[in-house]
A = this chain, B = another copy of it.
């Protein structure tokens, strides 16, 4: 059986989906028996929801439905999910796809030997049908044999990895820099040449430590921004005040 607090967490998410922002959750002591768990377990579940930013606790007062999701900045792993959280509709168009032999530089990033085959897919990412980013995906050939650009048109790369190749991502590292668009990027993104843009580079790994992808994305600077909640030094979890 999956962990009980995870199941309770989902039930809480269902519950608050029908509630107004600022409305109070029933007290923990009432909710726990209702879900059939101990209070500590309920609290554990609530903490998960708080971490997602959907609830807010106030000592002595109650637990309240938080305002609409505040972007949590940098944990971006999926364009689609990122866009949905921002309230726009994501879509994608493949511009180019094919195999190539890894250059020394690319080989180093992917931790393979130079010359090994690599699948390369260039995609235009759109938000509400307007260009948002150009994404260049590199996948070592042996990681996902048989995969091609076609498959990515209607399914998430990560889903394909999991379902067709049994690869589960374990984490990755992403760097975020600023850049300016070159001629090609400018044309694709429909912005002037040398417009400011975000440059993301991400390397993701599977559970066994093997590099699964190297992604380079250029985001339009005029349409994309981060919004981050800052917390003081250390301790606790949430901040900000507002009562119902």
Contact = CB atoms under 8 A, between A and B. Distances in A.
A239 B225 CA distance: 27
Contacts of A230: 74-77, 171-174, 202, 204
Contacts of A226: 74, 174-177
Interface string A50-94: 001000000000000000001001111100000000000000000
A56 to B, nearest CB: 12
Interface stretch (A28-36, A122-130, A190-198): A190-198
A171 B227 contact: no
A178 B204 contact: no
Interface residues of A, number: 47
Nearest to A40: B40
Nearest to A6: B235
A43 to B, nearest CB: 12
Contacts of A207: 241
10 contacts: A70-B173, A77-B230, A168-B232, A170-B232, A173-B228, A177-B221, A180-B196, A194-B194, A204-B230, A207-B241
A212 to B, nearest CB: 12
Instruction: State how many copies of this chain the complex holds.
Output: 2
A170 B239 contact: yes
Contacts of A225: 175-177
B232 A169 contact: yes
Contacts of A180: 180, 196
Contact of A232 (B77, B175, B202): B77
B173 A196 contact: no
A154 interface: no
Contact of A231 (B48, B168, B171, B198): B171
Contacts of A176: 73, 225-228
A184 interface: no
A209 B241 CA distance: 6
A198 B77 CA distance: 21
A179 B196 contact: yes
A105 interface: no
